[in-house]
Structure 1
C-alpha cells in the first residue's frame, strides 16, 4: 500500500487517520444494553487496536509499505475480534455468563427453539450472520487501508510513537498516583479467544479432559437402601457454618432450629448432620452443585467448564438408570441454560416453567415456599405407588444476598398455587423493608428462619411419608455476613423416616440432630460416594 504523494496537513491526516481508527475502536469496544441484544458504544479504548496500530506503523517504517496480504489478514482478524467481542458481551448481558463455544455451539439450535423460531427464520438469521461478517471484513479492510496510507507519512510518526508509549504504560502500570489508568481501556478480546481455545483443546485432545479432572465415583451400586423413596436434594443458598459458629447468628436461629426439629418429630422423621467443605465461597453456587452431582472437584472454574462439556456420569443419570424421574427445579433460572443438559434431568423447570402465578418478590420473583408448593403439586402429590420415584434438585433463593425482599410464611399451601398466593399488603410490606449491604446479618438470619419454617411445615404435613430430604448449603454467605478468613464449610442435613439409612450415615460420620459442630474433613465431592454407599445397602 503506497502512501499518498502529497502531505495533506495535520487536519487532513487526522481525518484520514482518526475516523478509521475511531470506527475500528467502536466496533472492538461495543457493549450491550442489559439484558437485551441491543448494541451500545463502549466509550473506551481498545488496547489491542492500539497495539496493532503501533505494530503496523513499525512494519511500514521498516518495510516501507503494507502489502495487500497483510491488510487482508488484519481485516480478517478484526472481523473475528469484533464478532467475538459481540458474542462475549451479548452472552454476559443475555445469559449472565461468559460465552462458551462448546456449549453454545452444541446447543444453539435448542436455544433458538426456546425462542419459538421457525426454520425459515433460523435460515434467514444464518444468512444475516454471514452478511454481517462479510460487512465487518469490508469495513475493516477500508479502515486498515486508510490507516496504512496515513502511517506511511513520516511527519506524524513521533506523535504516534509518544501516544502509543503512553497508552502502553497506562495499560502495563495501571496504578499511578492512586488513579487506575487502565479504566480507559475496554476488556481485551484476546483472553476470551485464548480461553475458548484452551477449552476446545482440552475437549478435542484425547485424554486431556480426563487427565485434568479428578476421578469420580463409579456409580455402579444399586439403590436398594432407599426402598423406592423420593429424594429431595435441597441446596440452600448461602447456608454456611457461620450460621452455626457465629454466636449472634446461632442465637438468632436457635428458635427456628428448635421449631424445625419439633416439626420433623411430628412428621415421624429424624435428622443426621455433618459439615463438608464447599468448592466455592460467597458465590459461584454452580460449582457446588456440580461437585455434589458429579463427585468431581470443581474448585477450578476451568475444571467446571471441562466437566460440563464432558461425558462424565452424574448422580442424576445414576438415579434415572434406576427408574427414577429426575427433576431440576430451579426457579432462580431466568435464562436459557444449555450446558445444564450435561446432568441428564428428565425435566428442567425454570422460573417460567414451574407455573408460579403470584406476585413477584424482587429480582428472584418466585418465593421458595411457593416453589415447594408447586413442586409438590406437580411431582410429589400423587401416591408413590402410582408413579416412579422422584429425584428432585431444588436450589433455594431466599438466603441469596441481599436477603430481601423476604416473603411471608403462608399457612395455606393450596393458596400458593393460585394467582392470589400473596396479598398486595403482604407484597407491599416485604418490599417496604430496607435492604442493607452494610448490616446484612439480621436479614440473612431472617431468610434462614423463613427457610427452616416452610421446610419444617412441609415435612410435617403434605410431604410423602418416605421422602428422603438432603439439605446442604452451597457455600458460605459473602464476607459481610461470614466475616474475614471464614471457613469454607457448609452444613449437610439428611432427613428421613428410615432409621436404618440414618444409622448407616451415622456410621459414616454423620451426627444426630441439626448441629454438626466438628470441623469438616470431607470435601463436597467426597460426600457423593459416601451417600451412594448408604443408598446401596439395606
Structure 2
C-alpha cells in the first residue's frame, strides 16, 4: 500500500482535474456529464508543474494557489459554455448577457431575493470549487516530488501535447482523445469585453448605418415578407448541372408570379458569410452594417444601432420574426425590435418533424398566413422576417408539397405515410447536390403557389439567400454571392429597382450589385416616396471581390437562433 500511495497521489488528482475540465452537455438539460477525453490545458499545466518540480524539487504554495485559481476559472468558463450551448444553442457572451441578465430574469418572474440568493450560492460554489482544486493540486504536488513519478508526468505531458499538435497529420484527429480547449473561449470573451467597454466602440469599429430617412411611402402600406432562403447561393445559376436541374422549377415560379399579377426583379449580392453563420447575413441586411467579422456582429448587438425592423415599426408596420428554426429562448432578438418573435414552440405547428428540429417551411408559411397575413382589413401592414429551414444541410428529409394550405395550419398537416416516405429518402453529404436541388425547387413550388392563391393583395416579397451552401454543393473557392429577388405588383417600384441595378426576372446573370449590408439602403431608396432621387447604375461603386475564406476564418456552424 505504501508503494501504491504515491501513484494514487498522482492519478487521483489528475483524474479529478481532468473530469472538471472536460465536462460536456449534449442538452437540453442543464446538468453536465463526464466524458472520457483529455483536457489540453491540464497537459500544459502538468508539464509546467513537473518541470518546476524537476528544477526546484517541490511546488511552492503560491504556484499551487495560482494553478488552482486558473483551473477554477477554466472549469467555470467551460461549465458556462456547455450549459449555454445546451440551453440556448449559442456561446455565452459575458458583456452582452451581463447587460441583459436583469431583464431576462425579470421576464422569467425571478424575484430580487431569488437573484441575490442565487448569486450568493454561485459565489459559494466557486469558492468550494477552488478549495477542491487546491487540495487536488497539493496532492499532485506531493506526487511530483517523487522523481520516477515526476519523470512519468513529464514524458506523458510531452507525448500528449505532441499528439494534440499533430492534428491532421496522417489523418490524426485529436478530437477523438481531447476535449475542446477552454482557453480560446476565455480569450475571446475577454477580447470581446475589452472591445465593448469603451462607450464609442461601436462607432469606431462598425461601418456606418444607413441614413434611415426613407418614409416607405412607395410601399403604399403593403405587407412585406422578407424570406431568408437558407443556403440559396449563386451555385444554382453558375454551376451548369444545378442551373439545368432548376430551370423548370424556376420557370414554374415565374409563371406563378405572373399569374398572381406580380413581377420579379433580381440581383446578386455578396453575403458576409459562407456555408454557415446565417445570423451574420441576417444581421447585415437588418441593420445595414457590415458583419463579415463575427466579432463585429457581437459588437453590433451590444450597440444602439437602428434596425430595419425598428424602421418599419416606426412607420406603422407590425413587425414579426417568424423563426421556425428557433428552438430556444433568443434574448438577442430584443436588439432587432420585433413586435413578435414566433419560434418553433409558439408558431402552433402540430405535425411531425422532418429531421431533428426541422419544421417544414410550407407548413410554417401556412401558419404565418393564418396568424398574421390573413386577417381582415383594415389592419396594420406586416413586416415579416422568415428564415427557412428546408434547404439547410443535409437538405433531406423534405416534406411533400400540400395543396390544401388550411390543412397545413391544422392538427394533422401530414399523413403518416407522407412522413414515412420523406424519412426514407436517402441523405448523403458525399453526393449532396440532388437533395439540395430538390430543397430549392420545393421552396419555389410552395412560394409560387402561395403567391398565386393566398398572398394578401399588394404583398411585397423579398427572397434572399443567406449564404452559399458548403463546397460540396457550391464548389471549391466558390464566390460568396447569393441571389435576391423582389416580387411585387407596383410598376413604379419595379422601375425603381431596375434603375438601381436589378435585372428583370429570376435569373440574375450580371455582376454583383452590392454587399449584403449595402442592399439595405438600396431597398430603402426604392421603398421611399416619389421625392427621393435614385442614383443611376453608372454612379454606383463597383463591389470589390472578396477572396475565398480559409476554413480558419469562417464562422463555426452553430445552432444559434436565426442562425443556420
TM-score computed with the length of structure 2 as normaliser: 0.88
Write out per-residue CA displacement over residues 271-297 of structure 1, whole angstroms, 9 at most, x where no aligned residue. 111111111122211111111111111
Which whole-Å CA distance do the structure 1 matches of 2:314 and 2:140 have between them? Answer: 62
Which whole-Å CA distance do the structure 1 matches of 2:471 and 2:166 have between them? Answer: 29
SS of the residue aligned with 2:332?
A: helix
1:364 aligns with 2:357: yes
Range moving further from structure 2, 87-96 or 292-301:
87-96
How has the CA–CA distance of structure 1 residues 312 and 396 changed in structure 2, closer, same or farther, with 3 Å as cutoff? same
1:469 aligns with 2:485: no
Which whole-Å CA distance do the structure 1 matches of 2:27 and 2:123 have between them? Answer: 25
The residue that corresponds to 1:456 in the other structure is: 448
User: How many corresponding residue pairs?
Assistant: 530
Which whole-Å CA distance do the structure 2 matches of 1:205 and 1:110 have between them? Answer: 22
Task: Select which of 336, 340, 351 maps to 2:333.
Answer: 340
Q: What is the root-mean-square deviation in Å for CA atoms of aligned residues?
A: 2.4
1:366 deviates by 1.9
TM-score computed with the length of structure 1 as normaliser: 0.92
Which whole-Å CA distance do the structure 1 matches of 2:152 and 2:450 have between them? Answer: 73
CA contact (8 A) 1:308 1:340 kept: no
Range moving further from structure 2, 348-357 or 102-111:
102-111
Task: Select which of 273, 295, 299 maps to 1:302.
Answer: 295
Range moving further from structure 2, 232-241 or 101-110:
101-110
Task: Select which of 134, 145, 154 maps to 1:161.
Answer: 154
Which whole-Å CA distance do the structure 2 matches of 1:146 and 1:191 have between them? Answer: 28
Task: Select which of 118, 135, 140 maps to 1:147.
Answer: 140
Which whole-Å CA distance do the structure 2 matches of 1:377 and 1:457 have between them? Answer: 16
Task: Select which of 239, 253, 268 maps to 1:275.
Answer: 268
Task: Select which of 266, 291, 305 maps to 2:259.
Answer: 266
1:37 aligns with 2:36: no
Range moving further from structure 2, 520-529 or 428-437:
428-437
Write out per-residue CA displacement over residues 19-45 of structure 1, whole angstroms, 9 at most, x where no aligned residue. 112101111111123333232223222
Write the mapping of 1:85-484 to structure 2, written as runs, cut at 5 A. 85-108=78-101, 125-154=118-147, 156-174=149-167, 178-180=171-173, 183-385=176-378, 387-484=379-476
Q: Which runs of 5+ in 2 are unaligned?
A: 531-564
Which whole-Å CA distance do the structure 1 matches of 2:459 and 2:499 have between them? Answer: 21
1:55 deviates by 2.7
How has the CA–CA distance of structure 1 residues 75 and 509 changed in structure 2, closer, same or farther, with 3 Å as cutoff? same
Which whole-Å CA distance do the structure 1 matches of 2:269 and 2:2 have between them? Answer: 71
SS of the residue aligned with 1:40?
A: coil
The residue that corresponds to 1:4 in the other structure is: none
1:378 deviates by 1.1
CA contact (8 A) 1:239 1:476 kept: yes
CA contact (8 A) 2:93 2:189 kept: yes
Which whole-Å CA distance do the structure 2 matches of 1:243 and 1:177 have between them? Answer: 35
SS of the residue aligned with 2:347?
A: coil
1:497 aligns with 2:503: no
Write out per-residue CA displacement over residues 7-28 of structure 1, whole angstroms, 9 at most, x where no aligned residue. x965221111221121011111
Write out per-residue CA displacement over residues 258-281 of structure 1, whole angstroms, 9 at most, x where no aligned residue. 222222222211111111111112
CA contact (8 A) 1:359 1:419 kept: no
CA contact (8 A) 1:278 1:489 kept: yes
SS of the residue aligned with 2:14?
A: helix
Write out per-residue CA displacement over residues 153-185 of structure 1, whole angstroms, 9 at most, x where no aligned residue. 445433333333333433344456653467533
How has the CA–CA distance of structure 1 residues 121 and 506 changed in structure 2, closer, same or farther, with 3 Å as cutoff? same
Q: Which runs of 5+ in 1 are unaligned?
A: 1-7
Which whole-Å CA distance do the structure 1 matches of 2:197 and 2:266 have between them? Answer: 41
How has the CA–CA distance of structure 1 residues 408 and 114 changed in structure 2, closer, same or farther, with 3 Å as cutoff? farther
How has the CA–CA distance of structure 1 residues 20 and 356 changed in structure 2, closer, same or farther, with 3 Å as cutoff? same
Range moving further from structure 2, 332-341 or 355-364:
355-364
The residue that corresponds to 2:556 in the other structure is: none
CA contact (8 A) 1:274 1:491 kept: yes
1:53 aligns with 2:46: yes
CA contact (8 A) 2:143 2:150 kept: no
CA contact (8 A) 1:111 1:336 kept: no
1:228 deviates by 1.2
The residue that corresponds to 1:530 in the other structure is: 522
Which whole-Å CA distance do the structure 2 matches of 1:156 and 1:435 have between them? Answer: 51
The residue that corresponds to 2:4 in the other structure is: 11
CA contact (8 A) 1:103 1:338 kept: no
1:110 deviates by 5.5
How has the CA–CA distance of structure 1 residues 528 and 50 changed in structure 2, closer, same or farther, with 3 Å as cutoff? same
Which whole-Å CA distance do the structure 2 matches of 1:373 and 1:366 have between them? Answer: 12
